[in-house]
Amino acid sequence: MPNYEFINDLTGETKLLSFGMEDNKQYIDEDGYRWRRVFCNPQTSIDSLSNIDAFSSRQFVDKTRSKRGNLGEMIDYSEELSQKRSEKLGTKDPVKQKYYESYASKRHGKRHLDERKEKLKELSNKEIVLNLK
C-alpha cells in the first residue's frame, strides 16, 4: 500500500501513513484535528548503468538482458557507456573506433555517417579557434 505523509500544523509533527488506493486519504487524530496532507515529489530512481564496468560487454549484456525496452533505449545505454569510456581514457572511445573501422572495411573504405559528423565537428571547432587567434 502506498505511504502518505501528513503534518499537524499546530505542533509541526509529521506522520507517515499507509492507505489503500480506494481509501479516502485524510487523517483525523483522536482529538478531532484534521492533519494536512503533504504532497512531495516521488522518490524514484531511474535505472542507469552507473554501477557496471564501461569496458565489460558481458556486464552490459547481463544488465540489459532482462530489461523490457526498445532499441532506442539500448542505443542510449550504449552511448552512456561510450561517454564513460571516453572520459576515463581521455581519448576517443576504443570500442566505437573499432566499430567504425569494421564498418569501413566491410564497405570498401566508406566511413560511417556518425564518424564523418564527428570529424566535421572537430575540424570546424579547430578552424574557429585558429581564426580567433
The DSSP call for residue 49 is S
Share of the chain above pLDDT 90, in %: 35
N residues, the chain? 133
Cut 0.75: pTM above it: no
Q: Which residue has the higher pLDDT, 59 or 44?
A: 59
Please give the grid coordinates belonging to residue 8: 499537524
pLDDT tens profile 68-115: 778 888 888 888 889 889 998 988 899 999 999 999 999 999 999 999
Distances (CA, A) of 18 to 1, 12, 38, 44: 6, 20, 13, 18
Residue 92, C-beta contacts closer than 8 angstroms, at least 6 positions apart? 86
- Strands 34-38 and 14-18: what pairing? unpaired
At 101 the pLDDT is 94
